[in-house]
A and B are shown apart, each in its own frame.
Chain A
């Protein structure tokens, strides 16, 4: 049972400032994902929560109590590392029991907790093995088992799936999510992979260069990205973005770019003649007869089995389109593009803030 709170957190490494006043709250039992490109500060923030990095400014609280000066072991947290950090000279069982052994817990209690965790994670047959005898996925589960045995207030995950191959990653994602639904422990999860964020989080914190770009549920971030960075970071394939000019005539707005008129949904707060970034997701574009839509030329067709990705050229701009199923279009074919106006995202040309 624990809420976590970050209040104006700052971090300096020597003269270099890497976190600029991070503030947000995590509710008890929430699964929050910190996501962003390398170097955005997400791991640093997590490690500060863990007590592995000094806090240069601001306060971190767990359950309302400021923990800045508490040593890691007194914070009642457990952490799963990217490289698992299993003790190579101890068996799986000993690894999971280590924290209890340090506190000189009773044997019965240790066995009970370890047994329970092993059962949840399907490790009960591996308790006498050594880490070097296990596969990557098994080691990951042992690392999680070690965290579960602690029965902490908060789980911390530092890019735990980065070392696994793609298929295993998908399977482990589901396992971690299921674990959270079962144990309901507050979880802070760091990753650079936005798909992991989208599939696992209750809420996502998008970070970039030491600041928070946006906080919201996965669908909030997907449907209404607050700025250009979030728009292009969330969603795969990435949102198509190009520059244009907003025009508003007779109450009907549209965007002029590359000599074409691009449809736009109702826009609040935009001015005629304003420079904008025009954003449309690959799934919100469809192909029609050349005369019925914006003229475009097919460049590449990439069928991925269930879907097809098509790269098209309109004037100077390249756009990506995703459609379900197959298509007959061929490279160099002329097609027309139809865009769902209400799915268009507009961002200010300078600063990238969302318009409307």
Chain B
């Protein structure tokens, strides 16, 4: 019978070589962490300390526009993307020889760096000589819209770019989740007479709910940080109307107002940190 021990005498042992090496081997990362994370974060918060910054920030109409843009961007792009990814994961779960080929091509946006591809799209939608407008003119003899000069369309194109780039990754994640479901469950359901929709509702979705939620939250965090999709497509324009949080900092930097840049990030923290907290909880299980 194991009994509880009331008091344990503290035995002091000299640290053995295994413990010493353990501590030594985390030093490289800890150094990086302190020098390149703790210091910048601390310094950034220090730069943003003056409450005046926040007054100026909220007085800036661009800031509000940016906040709305960011909200729209994150909510719409992420959910649209995840729903499509969920559907496509079902598509790629089918075993056909040609679907495997499609899958191979499908990961291209993920594999290829974003700069050339975003620039490619930017040129496609150039209102004067871009391929899209050229084709529209050829077909309708009318000028196509000025895509990137309309803030709403431009933001929409940025979102499309973002989805284009990140869809393969999330599709793969959800596909892996789907493949983890034992096929016997589907077979049993077939015997029981379930339709395709019923199988999704009662077998696929319950198994994937957790993964879908985790992926959505993580994707929101990543999307908040997507600088390239906006900056390289629109530069934040026209007239600073398509900025998102990720690109706003650069605008203020350009205007030599680094404190405002820091302040804009600090303002975003109350929205970002809860997401981060939820992610950490879910992942360290």
Contacts and interface: CB of A to CB of B under 8 A. Distances in A.
A18 interface: yes
Contacts, number: 21
Interface stretch (A9-17, A165-173, A213-221, A269-277): A9-17
Interface stretch (B1-9, B37-45, B47-55): B1-9
A54 to B, nearest CB: 8
Contacts of B195: none
B249 to A, nearest CB: 47
B16 A210 contact: no
A12 B1 contact: no
A71 B16 contact: yes
A69 B1 CA distance: 28
Interface in B1-50: 1-5, 8, 13, 16-17
A12 B8 CA distance: 9
A348 interface: no
Contacts of B8: 12, 15, 56
Contacts of B3: 17
A208 to B, nearest CB: 10
Interface string B139-173: 00000000000000000000000000000000000
Contact of A12 (B5, B16, B17): B5
Interface of A: prevailing SS: loop
Interface residues of A, number: 10
Nearest to A19: B2
Q: How large is the interface on B (under 10, 10 to 19, 20 to 34, 35 or more residues)?
A: under 10
A6 to B, nearest CB: 18
A209 interface: yes
Contacts of B5: 12, 15-17
A218 B4 CA distance: 34
Interface in A6-64: 12, 15-18, 56
A135 B39 CA distance: 56
A209 B16 contact: no
A316 B17 CA distance: 63
B40 to A, nearest CB: 40
A15 B1 contact: no
Nearest to A208: B1
A69 B17 CA distance: 13
Nearest to A211: B1
A352 to B, nearest CB: 14
Given A15-B4, A71-B16, A71-B17, 15 more contacts: A12-B5, A12-B8, A15-B8, A16-B2, A16-B5, A17-B2, A17-B3, A17-B4, A17-B5, A18-B2, A56-B8, A69-B13, A209-B1, A209-B2, A210-B2
Closest 8 CB pairs of A and B: A16-B2, A15-B4, A209-B1, A17-B5, A17-B3, A17-B2, A12-B5, A15-B5
17 contacts: A12-B5, A12-B8, A15-B4, A15-B5, A15-B8, A16-B4, A16-B5, A17-B2, A17-B3, A56-B8, A69-B13, A71-B16, A71-B17, A209-B1, A209-B2, A210-B1, A210-B2
